[in-house]
Amino acid sequence: MSLQSINSINITVEIQVSDSQTCNLLYESLVLESGYNPNDRSQANLTLDNNRLILEINAKDSVSARASINSFMKWINLSLQIISMTENANQ
């Protein structure tokens, strides 16, 4: 029985946003986080394509992949809540 190890994990998440303004705000709120890499175990790249955000995470192990995807999902949720609150306050 041979043991195989994971060399890398690649995750791509595409997020469809209802309008371009919200998509741009969401992108601007997250793009700095994608450039910050506290260690070399994972890297994130965020791109904007019309009303879609494309998040690509490349990780060296499952722990860092899970941590990265969880962090981004929480930041996305929080950012969308803040955008919604500011839109409601402006109406």
CATH classification number, 9-89, choose in 3.30.310.50, 3.40.50.2300, 1.10.10.10, 3.30.420.40: 3.30.310.50
- For 22-70, how does the pLDDT look when each residue is reduced to its tens digit (9 = 90+)? 999 999 999 888 777 667 889 999 999 989 999 999 999 999 999 999 9
Domain ranges of the chain: 9-89
CA 43 → CA 19, 39, 68, 76, 83, distances in Å?
27, 9, 8, 17, 26
User: Is the whole-model pTM more than 0.85?
Assistant: no
Cα of 59 vs its chain's centroid, Å: 13
